[in-house]
Amino acid sequence: MERLQKVIAASGYCSRRKAEELIQTGHVAVNGIVVTELGSKVSNKDRIEIDGEKINKEQKEYYLLYKPRSVVTTTSDDKKRKTVVDLIETNARIYPVGRLDYDTTGAIILTNDGELANLLMHPKNKIDKVYIAKIKGILHPTMIEQLKRGVMIDGVKTARSKVKVKRYDRKTDTSIVEIIIHEGRNHQVKKMFQAVGKDVLKLKRERISFLDLRGLNSGEYRRLNPKEVKKLYSEVDLKQ
């Protein structure tokens, strides 16, 4: 027997958090009876329906994509722009874990495992996200310390981060900076640099946890192997 919300998330229908919302708002029925209690447990023999639609357990799929520029991080787009889901050949109902801006490139995970997606996105699990930013000008030591300690964006202070200047180009007056964060707020890295008076010219996410882009070109992807999936679960379980 497993908790109802966990079974729904495991089916790939949605994240565990969304499943909890659906249960509490009366959208979920088990064997024809609406269930609104989050503690409810079900077995493999139970019929689970969401708004009258039976959920089926999907085979879990996990992908690491090197997102190109000018691709949106969503499952569909009303402006008919290409999405990250369009780049992956699968019949599974996958979705991106977190997001990258339209003009930001780099690593993003896509999966139909709602349980893992929710764990990876939750700030309390402190999953490292490593970015390389190209900024205008020099990042002075005082600015680096500000970024490390946290800066105010949208009225809320960011968590501590790691910052390292990789190089400075005098000819173009630009710096390449590595910044490691574990939050996932909207436009966070760009806003952090703006908070210390620097504009981001280019931004790339190089790594998520231990997963990097080695062997991938822009627009390419690969499936995660069982060992990598187990390691991701292990990392978030250790931080619970």
Report the catalytic residues: 101
78: Cβ contacts below 8 Å, ≥ 6 apart: none
CB 147 within 8 Å of CB 200: no
Q: How far is CA 11 from the centre of its chain?
A: 19
CB 58 within 8 Å of CB 95: no
* 157 token code pair: 């202070």
157: Cβ contacts below 8 Å, ≥ 6 apart: 150, 151
48-50 vs 28-30, strand pairing mode: antiparallel
* 34 token code pair: 């609406």
Distance CA 95, CA 153 (A): 27
